[in-house]
Copies of this chain bind each other. A is one copy, B any other.
Amino acid sequence: MEHVYEILEVAGSSKKSIEDAVKNAVAAAGKKSKNLRWFEVVETRGYIEEGKISYWQVAVKIGATIEA
Protein backbone atom coordinates (compact mmCIF):
# COMPACT_ATOMS: atom_id res chain seq x y z
CA MET A 1 0.00 0.00 0.00
CA GLU A 2 1.06 3.59 -0.61
CA HIS A 3 1.67 5.69 2.53
CA VAL A 4 2.17 9.40 3.05
CA TYR A 5 4.04 10.74 6.06
CA GLU A 6 4.14 14.20 7.53
CA ILE A 7 7.68 14.92 8.79
CA LEU A 8 7.81 16.99 11.99
CA GLU A 9 10.96 18.41 13.54
CA VAL A 10 11.11 18.55 17.34
CA ALA A 11 13.93 19.34 19.80
CA GLY A 12 13.85 17.49 23.13
CA SER A 13 16.10 17.67 26.16
CA SER A 14 16.98 15.59 29.22
CA LYS A 15 19.30 15.73 32.21
CA LYS A 16 20.03 12.00 31.84
CA SER A 17 21.03 10.89 28.36
CA ILE A 18 20.75 11.33 24.60
CA GLU A 19 18.18 8.50 24.45
CA ASP A 20 16.06 10.17 27.11
CA ALA A 21 16.13 13.48 25.23
CA VAL A 22 14.89 11.67 22.11
CA LYS A 23 12.11 10.03 24.15
CA ASN A 24 11.00 13.44 25.42
CA ALA A 25 10.89 14.78 21.87
CA VAL A 26 8.84 11.80 20.70
CA ALA A 27 6.47 12.09 23.68
CA ALA A 28 5.81 15.76 22.88
CA ALA A 29 5.17 14.98 19.20
CA GLY A 30 2.79 12.23 20.33
CA LYS A 31 0.46 14.88 21.75
CA LYS A 32 0.03 16.31 18.24
CA SER A 33 -0.34 13.03 16.32
CA LYS A 34 -1.32 9.45 17.22
CA ASN A 35 0.42 8.09 14.12
CA LEU A 36 4.14 8.48 14.75
CA ARG A 37 6.16 5.82 12.89
CA TRP A 38 9.89 6.65 12.78
CA PHE A 39 12.46 9.28 13.75
CA GLU A 40 15.93 10.45 12.77
CA VAL A 41 18.30 12.28 15.13
CA VAL A 42 19.68 15.26 13.16
CA GLU A 43 21.58 17.16 15.86
CA THR A 44 23.01 16.32 19.31
CA ARG A 45 23.87 19.28 21.51
CA GLY A 46 23.77 20.21 25.18
CA TYR A 47 24.33 22.81 27.86
CA ILE A 48 27.08 23.09 30.49
CA GLU A 49 26.81 24.65 33.96
CA GLU A 50 29.79 24.98 36.33
CA GLY A 51 31.85 22.70 34.13
CA LYS A 52 29.29 19.87 34.04
CA ILE A 53 26.69 18.85 31.43
CA SER A 54 23.39 20.20 32.75
CA TYR A 55 21.26 18.71 29.97
CA TRP A 56 21.35 16.99 26.58
CA GLN A 57 19.38 18.41 23.67
CA VAL A 58 18.57 16.63 20.41
CA ALA A 59 16.81 17.72 17.23
CA VAL A 60 14.72 14.88 15.84
CA LYS A 61 12.79 14.52 12.57
CA ILE A 62 9.66 12.42 13.17
CA GLY A 63 7.49 10.76 10.51
CA ALA A 64 3.74 10.43 11.16
CA THR A 65 1.29 8.65 8.85
CA ILE A 66 -1.35 10.91 7.29
CA GLU A 67 -4.65 9.10 6.83
CA ALA A 68 -5.56 9.13 3.11
* Residues in chain A within 8 A of chain B (CB atoms): 2-15, 17-19, 22-28, 30-31, 34, 36-41, 43-48, 51-53, 55-56, 59, 61-63, 66, 68
Contacts and interface: CB of A to CB of B under 8 A. Distances in A.
A38 B28 contact: no
Copy number in the complex reads 12
A51 B38 contact: no
Contacts of A23: 52-53
Contact of A26 (B14, B18, B53): B53
A22 to B, nearest CB: 7
Given A51-B34, A51-B36, A52-B26, A13 B19 contact: no
Contacts of A62: 48
